[in-house]
Every structure is written in structure tokens, then in C-alpha cells.
Amino acid sequence: MSFSNNDVQKVAEILANSKYLVAFTGAGISTESGLPDYRGPEGVWTLREKGLKPMLPRKPMHLVQPNPGHFAIVDLYKLGLLKYLISQNVDNLHLKSGIPSEILAELHGNSGKMKCLGCDTRFLKQEIGWDDHLHGKGYRTEKSRSNQPRCPYCECRIISSVVNFNDPMPEKEMQEAEKHTRKCDVMLAIGSTLSVVPAASFPVIAKRLGAFLIIINVGKTELDTMADVRIEAKSGEFLPLVIDHIKALS
């Protein structure tokens, strides 16, 4: 990667001096855990658009673990710097890494969670006995099956929380993401090409409201020209060095 010690020092000082840091993550943060991204050079959609077969995850999803990039974000939270995390990812790795659910907006859902169409309660699949082999994936556009579990609170249909193409965005998560974006003075965008809207609109909103925008990604993003600092790096290599420098500053 092409980053320098000066890059590490600069980003560390910006984050350490932030008053309301919000992070934004895309699939690129999870590639070091063995998951493919979507819009990168070897991404799922990039390859499909070329008529090529996309890379499959190296492990079953339940065995995939967070990497140093995820844990560095947890460190930012533990240091009292990170106030909120907005993620496009459905892989559950932020929650596995130790990020509290109350400071996380999973804009595209979570592959391990279902939600009620009536009361919007979220459930882990094991909580309600959902088995993909028996009940299907439960996507919104799929026909409901008679054997699928129903919401224990309101008896309404339960569907996957994952947001597929043409599905509506989750209202609560979008509202929370916007609320914290409007408060932030630093937006740290990690591992995203920032090309999928409406999710990618949050770094734009932050920048237009005067926040400092830092982008860390391998490959170009749609907002490179808008960034105050642009780092070409794998998050799992760059962010732990930033954390070490922040700790040395205190």
C-alpha cells in the first residue's frame, strides 16, 4: 500500500481532536476477513457485469471473523472518539467485533437477523427458530410460506432484514444515520466505493455541512475529489497504526 507514516500521523491527529466522529463502512473493510466486496475491481457486481463468476466467501458466513480493521473501529469507540457507525454491510462483523448495537445503523440489514413487517422488531434467526433450509431466505419479494415463523408479538409476517435491490430502506436506521451525520465534525469512510445510494449520501451530507471527510479505501471512490484526506490502504493495515498513534498522543 502507498500510505506513509505522515498519513498515519495526520489521520490520528484529526481523529484524536474530533468532537463528534462518525464512521461509514462498506464491504471493503471485510475483504480481509475473506469476504468479497461488491464494486471493487474484483467485486461481486463488477465481475457479474463483465459476465464473470464472482468470488465466493472462503468460509461459511457463521465462521467468518472480524479483522484488525473492525477491531480498530471498536478501539475508536473505547477511546471515546467514535460516536456512531453507519454501515452498508450485512455480514454481522461489526457486532461480532464488539460494536454496541445502539451506536450502529446497518443500512442494508444483517444476514443473521430477521424483522417483523408489522412492529419492526428485529430477531436473531435462532431466537425465533428460523432455519433457511426449512423456511427459505425470507426475502421481502419471496412468497410467504405457511411454515415460516410469525412474530411472537404481533403475529405479522417475518422477513429477512437484508435490503435487496428495489426493497425500501429501513426507516429507523436511515433516520438515525442522518441524525448523527448532521452532528458529526469528522466523517471517516472506510472500505466503500461510495457509489451506492442512498447510503453513500451520508458522507456527502456530512461534507456539505462542514465536516472533515477522510476516505480510506483500496481503489477509487465516487467521492475522492470531495475528501479532505484520501488514503489508499487496506483498513486492517492502516487503522491499527492510527490507533497506536492516537494512544501515544494521550
Residues forming the active site? 108
**C-alpha angle 72-65-130 in degrees, rounded to nearest 5:** 125
Q: Which residues of 130-153 are buried (b: 16+ CB within 10 A; e: fewer)?
A: beeeebbebebeeeeeeebbebee
Helix spans in the chain (H): 5-16, 44-49, 68-78, 93-97, 132-135, 171-183, 201-208, 235-249
Q: Write out the three cell numbers for 34.
A: 475473506
**C-alpha angle 4-6-9 in degrees, rounded to nearest 5:** 120
User: Can you tell me which residue has the cell 466523517?
Assistant: 187
**Contact in structure between 103 and 82 (CB atoms under 8 Å):** yes
Beta strands in 43-185 (DSSP E): 82-87, 104-106, 113-116, 122-124, 158-160
**Contact in structure between 221 and 200 (CB atoms under 8 Å):** no
Sheet holding 158-160, edge to edge: 122-124, 113-116, 158-160
The SS3 call for residue 212 is strand
Q: Write out the three cell numbers for 30.
A: 471485510
